């Protein structure tokens, strides 16, 4: 799924690079305090990303559809008439649909 917001792309890239730095490059030499500092920084980035994505049910629905094209996401795409779905609605619907398809 393409992400059009360059800030989100930068945050995801930053998060990936920090994890790589922590887990691959610095693992043999970094102390627990350093790991804690890096984890705090990464948690801040992840929190910002979660807030961004959780506010966009349509995007999450499209991602779920890419994962499982059999899930009908039409009800969760931007619709008129004041219909609003929560993330819980979307995940429950997707899970129940997955169970029906896969038994």
pLDDT in tens, 77-93: 875 555 677 888 888 88
Query: Rounded to an integer, what is the distance from CA 76 to the centroid of its chain?
Result: 17
Q: With contact defined as beta carbons under 8 Å apart, do 54 and 63 qualify? A: no
Residues 1 and 49 reside in one and the same domain: yes
Residues 44-65 have pLDDT tens digits of: 999 999 988 888 888 888 888 8
Q: What is the pLDDT of residue 83?
A: 64
Residues 31 and 2 reside in one and the same domain: yes
Range of the domain at 35: 1-54
Give the N- to C-terminal CA distance of the chain in Å, as an integer.
28
Residues 42 and 4 reside in one and the same domain: yes
Residues 4 and 47 reside in one and the same domain: yes
Place of tokens 């305090």: 33
The answer on pLDDT for 15 being more than 80 is: yes
The answer on pLDDT for 71 being more than 60 is: yes
Query: In a 3-state reduction of DSSP, which class is residue 26?
Result: coil
Domains identified in the chain, total number: 2
């Amino acid at each position: 799924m393409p992400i059009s917001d360059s800030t989100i792309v930068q945050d995801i890239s930053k998060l990936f690079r920090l994890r790589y730095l922590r887990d691959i490059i610095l693992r043999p030499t970094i102390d627990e305090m350093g790991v804690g500092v890096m984890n705090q920084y990464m948690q801040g980035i992840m929190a910002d990303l979660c807030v961004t994505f959780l506010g966009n049910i349509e995007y999450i629905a499209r991602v779920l559809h890419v994962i499982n094209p059999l899930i009908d996401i039409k009800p969760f795409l931007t619709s008129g008439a004041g219909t609003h779905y929560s993330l819980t609605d979307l995940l429950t619907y997707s899970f129940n649909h997955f169970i029906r398809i896969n038994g």
